[in-house]
Structure 1
Amino acid sequence: MTPSRHRLALLLLILWLWTSPGISVSAHGQGKPVNCERSAEQLTGRLELCQRYRVDQIEVEGLFRTRRYVVERELVFEEGDVATLAEIEESVQRLRNTGLFRTVAYDLVDQRLVAVVGEDLPQLGDGEHDGRLLRLSVDERWTLLPQTRFSRGGGVLHLILGLSDANLFGTYLQLGGYYERLGPANSFALWFRDPRFLGERLVLSADAGISNRVVALYARDGALEGGFLLERQFASLALEKEWRWWWRTGVGLGVVNDAFGYTLVSETMRSGQEHLGGLPDAQAALSLSVSSRWGRLNLDNYLVDGAQFSLRLGRYITVPELETQFTRLDATVLHFTTLPLKSTLALRMAVGLSDARAAHHAYFAGGLDAVRGFVNQRFRGNFYALTNAEFRIPSFDMRWIAVQHVFFVDGLGISDHAFEIFGLRAASAGVGLRFVSPKIYGFLARIDFAFQLEGGSGPSLSFGGGQFF
């Protein structure tokens, strides 16, 4: 197949996935919360969700580590309040979206059936139902996760030791860290996240550490033309506020201090870098960012449903000169639709724009996080457009283990010139497997086999932790 036919086939497949009838509504009925203030005509088929109940009592079954107030904080009502069925289902979905529970279910029990004989129940207003007992049933996930890796080859030792907990002491606080030894280079990182800062729907995130990674520079034809070791000291603080269920805004502040060397770099890479002019100059920078997200992704066990558009603008300023180093704008669309048989149609579309001059500040794309079937960092540029589409369907689904089969297609346009990103620079398609543990927070192993359609050859087999997107 010629390159032009590859581009046409990929474009037609992506358009079909995006516009196929019936995929905009989840098989589970998930979506935006019902607005019961609308007219009866606008609520056709969903009027039952606007029935009102007085929630006299709330019981939570299945808590092991998580504290009860963590559950109550996600509810949009309290004991004694009158709530619609839509508000109850929205509260249940918020609990699922924390990721702390494999499943969340609920029952509404008529209090008249359990009332003490002779005890009068309070009178209700017009359109309200008798009091109910809301019984929530949850299945907690295990969230304390160690991280270990040890390997030795080519005279280089690689060691990783880490530990993280997404539900620290049952409070929904998240804390983690790791230490990495790669040859003579040491790296470490610590991070903290409070998804309900000050008891509000406010996310506070902070991290700090030192990272060491080899930056490989490839020419457009795929030839290795240089590279170096980037040692980065970093610290950042971010805050994100949920204003509506469908809208969030955030701000971020960070500092980085970059140094460069040839440790762990091959002789071929080193000589090529010297030919390009040597190592970049060491530099410290301050990063400022603003972001916004529209839409919401709903979780149900290991399934994802919904759509979200995110936009982030970042500015990097040199220190102490306080001169603008470069500006970056990133936009991403995520769309997940749950279909019958617990299958999922997943789509990611992303665009990035930057005016960075230094090579290590450009966008890098390769097999790890962008387009499968190519070496990591194979493509780079100041502008990129990326599309990934997956169809996921499980063949085995139990409480502790589930297996998903995946069919995917990836497409990438990337260049130092904005309009060239609309040409297809790399594309691949293939199949994969996902090994999920629904009972363990964030545990997913991934194996993918890709066939290169455009952009040359590369390693077909890839694996890692977590979904590709």
Structure 2
Amino acid sequence: MPPPPARLLALLATTLVAAGAPGPAAAAAERVRAVEVDGNERTSRHVIERALGVSPGDAVDPDDLSALEQQVYNLRIFRSVRVRAEREPQGGVVLRVAVEERRTFLLLPLMGASRGAFRVGGALMDTNLLGLRKELVLIGSWSTRGSQAIALYRDPGVAQSRVVVAAEAALEDVVRERTEGGEGAYSFRDKRADVSVRAGWLLTPRLALRAGWFGVSEVSEPEPGFAAPPRARPAHGPSADLEYQGQDYRDWLNVGPALRARWREGVPALGSDRFLRAALVQGTWAFRVFDGHAASLSTALHLGQGDAVLDAVRLGGRPGTRGFDDAGLWAERAATFTADYQIPIWRPAFGTLTALGFVDAGVLGYEGRRVSWASPGVGVRLYLRNVALPAIGLDVAQSTTGRGPAGSFFLGFGG
């Protein structure tokens, strides 16, 4: 016999009250009376508190402590992070954050060789400049193809605000060589100065948008045996970039999605001596698989418009185009894809060594021609626990359109 209507109404009312009542997690939340930080010998506590995202007076749940630890760990300047909530006799909790810092100021030698081209140099980098998590990278190198000097600067929050700044400057005096089927197809000497400065806003803790101005000045000279390059004229105009860092930092792998988009355009109407357009969109998704293994999928879209010689997108020797000579693959537009799989093979106290298997694939268009490829390969990566350097490694790949295996050295700056 069905229950009488009065009993049904009572049962419904009881259910609604129970559904609207605070659950165990909500009941456990307590007010934060203070935040205490320990172990930050160099890093400003304001950097840690900002990453933590919790201030005195906020409510915090014990179940959220692991997420708070991850937010601080995502700064990538600490080897360990521990967040504890200690109850106070008068009510509320004190959040105690204990960190162990990584070494962020580094001076690194750079060496490499690829089919007769040798490179030596050095890099000075600090990913926690002044203890404020600003990034500065200086690179100088010399090779049989010329010399380069590069400076990069990133400020994730000017004066602890949400204003973000990025700047790059490069001086180059190098021989640009385009290869086809592993053979030299064209070559010229390029003397170039390239500067870009952008400022913007941190839209969310993981999403930044910047806009600014760039300028390029160069001199192009012929190489023996090749036709003279076009006369280089200065170009300048607006530039912008968008970065989404949705990855959570782990012991040796960033797990989750990341997106980067960059654009610059030399506009004659704004005073540029010539038209130039360059754009790049990159996306990566990394994830754990099986027993501590890792995989990632990456794709990139490149666009270079203007002069086919001076403004070509120069690929090769990097993810998506491993198996080709460094900067030897020229394109006006290109799409690349990478799938890789890593297996930890050695885990000493100072880091993790992994074996890497990958496949690069892509298609490009250049001067009316279309080139497509697939490049399977293998490599190794060394991730250092105490050093704020994402990875050091070596890859060897064989492209379906190349003349033989090509090696490329991998050095990760800032992740």
TM-score range, shorter chain: 0.7 to 0.9
- What is the one-letter code of the residue matched to 1:342? G
Q: Tell whether 2:204 aligns with 1:244.
A: yes
Q: Could you say which residue in structure 2 is the equivalent of 1:71?
A: 48
2:379 aligned residue (392, 408, 432): 432
Aligned partner of residue 406 in structure 1, secondary structure: strand
Question: 1:280-325, CA deviations, whole angstroms, 9 ceiling, x for partnerless residues?
Answer: 2132111422333456122123221111333333212369953551
Aligned partners of 1:209 and 1:235 also within 8 Å: yes
- 1: CA distance between counterparts of 2:204 and 2:310? 37
- 1: CA distance between counterparts of 2:44 and 2:208? 26
TM-score normalised to structure 1 length? 0.74
- 2: CA distance between counterparts of 1:47 and 1:97? 29
Q: Could you say which residue in structure 1 is the equivalent of 2:411?
A: 465
Aligned partners of 1:103 and 1:300 also within 8 Å: no
After superposition, the CA RMSD in angstroms is 3.4
1:90/1:204 Cα in 2 relative to 1: closer, same or farther (>3 Å)? farther
1:189/1:364 Cα in 2 relative to 1: closer, same or farther (>3 Å)? closer
1:376/1:184 Cα in 2 relative to 1: closer, same or farther (>3 Å)? closer
Q: Could you say which residue in structure 2 is the equivalent of 1:379?
A: 329
1:379/1:207 Cα in 2 relative to 1: closer, same or farther (>3 Å)? closer
1:69/1:311 Cα in 2 relative to 1: closer, same or farther (>3 Å)? closer
1:106 aligned residue (57, 64, 83): 83
- 2: CA distance between counterparts of 1:294 and 1:184? 35
- 2: CA distance between counterparts of 1:184 and 1:404? 32
Sequence identity percentage: 22
Q: Could you say which residue in structure 1 is the equivalent of 2:5?
A: none
Question: 1:81-128, CA deviations, whole angstroms, 9 ceiling, x for partnerless residues?
Answer: 3234576555433322221112222222233xxx4xxxxx1xxxxxxx
Q: Tell whether 2:114 aligns with 1:164.
A: no
Shift of 1:415: 0.9
1:101/1:49 Cα in 2 relative to 1: closer, same or farther (>3 Å)? farther
- 1: CA distance between counterparts of 2:220 and 2:372? 29
Q: Could you say which residue in structure 2 is the equivalent of 1:81?
A: 58
- Residue correspondence of structure 1 range 248-327 to structure 2 within 5 A: 248-261=208-221, 270-271=224-225, 273-274=226-227, 278-294=228-244, 296-317=246-267, 321-322=271-272, 325-327=275-277
1:372/1:145 Cα in 2 relative to 1: closer, same or farther (>3 Å)? same
- What is the one-letter code of the residue matched to 1:462? S
Shift of 1:372: 1.8
Higher strand residue share: 2
TM-score normalised to structure 2 length? 0.82
Higher mean C-alpha displacement, 69-78 vs 176-185: 176-185
1:337/1:240 Cα in 2 relative to 1: closer, same or farther (>3 Å)? farther
Question: 1:372-408, CA deviations, whole angstroms, 9 ceiling, x for partnerless residues?
Answer: 2222234322111100011112122344121011111
- Point out where structure 1 has 5 or more consecutive residues left out of the alignment: 1-39, 116-120, 122-129
Aligned partners of 1:253 and 1:289 also within 8 Å: yes
Shift of 1:442: 1.0
Shift of 1:235: 1.8
1:350 aligned residue (292, 296, 300): 300
- Point out where structure 2 has 5 or more consecutive residues left out of the alignment: 1-17
Q: Could you say which residue in structure 2 is the equivalent of 1:331?
A: 281
- 1: CA distance between counterparts of 2:171 and 2:328? 24
Q: Could you say which residue in structure 1 is the equivalent of 2:4?
A: none
Q: Could you say which residue in structure 1 is the equivalent of 2:106?
A: 145
Aligned partners of 1:215 and 1:360 also within 8 Å: no
Aligned partner of residue 212 in structure 1, secondary structure: strand
Shift of 1:425: 1.0
Q: Could you say which residue in structure 1 is the equivalent of 2:193?
A: 233
- 1: CA distance between counterparts of 2:141 and 2:409? 20
1:59 aligned residue (36, 41, 45): 36
1:103/1:132 Cα in 2 relative to 1: closer, same or farther (>3 Å)? same
Aligned partner of residue 288 in structure 1, secondary structure: strand
Aligned partner of residue 94 in structure 1, secondary structure: helix
Q: Could you say which residue in structure 2 is the equivalent of 1:217?
A: 178
